[in-house]
A and B are shown apart, each in its own frame.
Chain A
Amino acid sequence: MQFLANPTRFLKIANAALPTVWAITIVLFAIGLYGALVTAPADYQQGETVRIMYVHVPAAWMALFVYTVMALASALALIFRHPLADVAAKTAAPIGAVFCFLSLATGSLWGKPMWGAWWVWDARLTSMFVLMLLYIGYMAIWAAIEEPHKAAMVARVVALVGFINIPIVKFSVDWWNSLHQPASVFRMGGPTIAGPMLWPLLVMGLAYTFLFLALHLTAMRAEIAARKIRQIQIAEIGDR
């Protein structure tokens, strides 16, 4: 962790790793999509619409995973003053928000033929929606405070308070109303999904994870460059 504290060293590693990460992402997506759209059988109840699952479920996993990354990075920034942790948290937020939006949008498309409505006020939908609002609030803080150093400190608080609240929100809406099917992959006693449907789903999950890694590294690289430009500009104003 301390090894990566130097932005130049981080950039060197990121630049070296990015082509490989992108290549793995593309290969995984090719395998996953082939499995999802061609070899996986249609569901006996839901028919072909079940294929939305391969886009929808990994997106929802990633929305939660990225928020966890964001909160971890914020905690690292708060505890160890790691210089790149704030950059990591800031750049993860928009990516996570897109994953969150993707899972809501595909869920809505899936819900119309299955439940007969674009949107129902079910526990999972509501908690994903709240997660989306948390992402938006976090990004709004970065946008609203001009000074990057101050924005970073405030954003850490927002990310961590949100992270404490997610389980509470999740548990309260579960108790409130639930129509969505329960978890069927990561549960005690093994997955309940049949093998030919399970492996494309897991490959897609892995593909999404690598996609996030690639996007995140690229975004962090861009953010570091943007900060450098800002500093150069400030120095130029000072010279004048």
Chain B
Amino acid sequence: MKLILALIKRDLTLSLRQGGGIGTALGFFLSVVVLLPIGIGPDQALLARIAPGALWIALLLSVLLSADRIFQQDYEDGSLDIMTMGPVPFEMVALAKAVAHWLSTSLPLAIAAPLLGFLVNLEPSAILPLALAMMLGSIALSLLAAIGAAVTVGLRRGGLLVSILVLPLYVPVLIFGLSASQPGAAPGLTTASLLILGAIALVSLVVSPLASAAALRSYLK
């Protein structure tokens, strides 16, 4: 357990000191949100209606953009090879990396996104449910992104392939995330959707370490 925490801490430090982690993702998120009203026109009523969806899609894209960084560097400099031989089960190494990605990228984005909602005229009453849904959803987003990153780690142009592989898996998160954060939704609907988001996060928590570790092993042989 101590070793796993050390792994997470190492990855967090690396992503903070190297730059290009949360800064880039947040910058990308901002530019998508700014381009959107330019693309569809500045109508306030229309913007308010599509605000949760727009924020969710910006979140998915920003998480995907940083996904291929989860294993890439450690694969290239050989750290992953050493980790396969260490005392920590390799599945837990994969999980630690996904958790580090969640803490360094997805969670800050999920917290920042509802606050940036004023740019697209998000209704104030929708901020809290949206923040909750995004925090729960971002767990699944990071875990699924880790599978995509592991599957394409040895490829030179893996970035685009990650999106093709992972975006279909993001559909349920997007659907339930949206239904939790609709402005006019009944309170029961919000709770139910949040519970389902939690369930999706738990399923990914089981599947992701197994799948990522299996894919990484085949590259490391």
Contacts and interface: CB of A to CB of B under 8 A. Distances in A.
B156 to A, nearest CB: 9
A84 B215 CA distance: 20
A179 interface: no
A186 B104 CA distance: 48
Given A165-B169, A172-B175, A150 B218 contact: yes
A169 B168 contact: yes
Contacts of A78: 214
A144 to B, nearest CB: 5
B171 A169 contact: yes
A150 B147 CA distance: 16
B56 interface: no
A78 B218 CA distance: 12
Nearest to A164: B207
Contacts of B168: 130, 133-134, 137, 162, 165, 169
Name the interface size band of chain A: 20 to 34
A16 to B, nearest CB: 35
Contacts of B152: 144
Contacts of B151: 141, 154, 157-158
Contacts of A153: 214-215, 217-218
B161 A168 contact: no
Contacts of B147: 157, 161
A70 to B, nearest CB: 15
A166 to B, nearest CB: 9
B155 interface: yes
A161 B161 contact: no
Interface string B132-171: 0000000000000001001110110010010011011101
Interface in A105-136: 126, 130, 133-134, 136
A76 to B, nearest CB: 15
A13 interface: no
A42 to B, nearest CB: 37
Contacts of B154: 145, 150
B155 A137 contact: no
A198 interface: no
Contacts of A134: 168
B95 interface: no
A89 to B, nearest CB: 15
Nearest to B155: A144
Nearest to B212: A157
A133 B167 CA distance: 9
Contacts of A173: 171, 175
7 contacts: A133-B167, A133-B168, A134-B168, A154-B219, A156-B214, A162-B169, A173-B175
Interface of A: 78, 126, 130, 133-134, 136-137, 140-141, 144-145, 150, 153-154, 156-158, 160-162, 164-165, 168-169, 172-173, 175-176
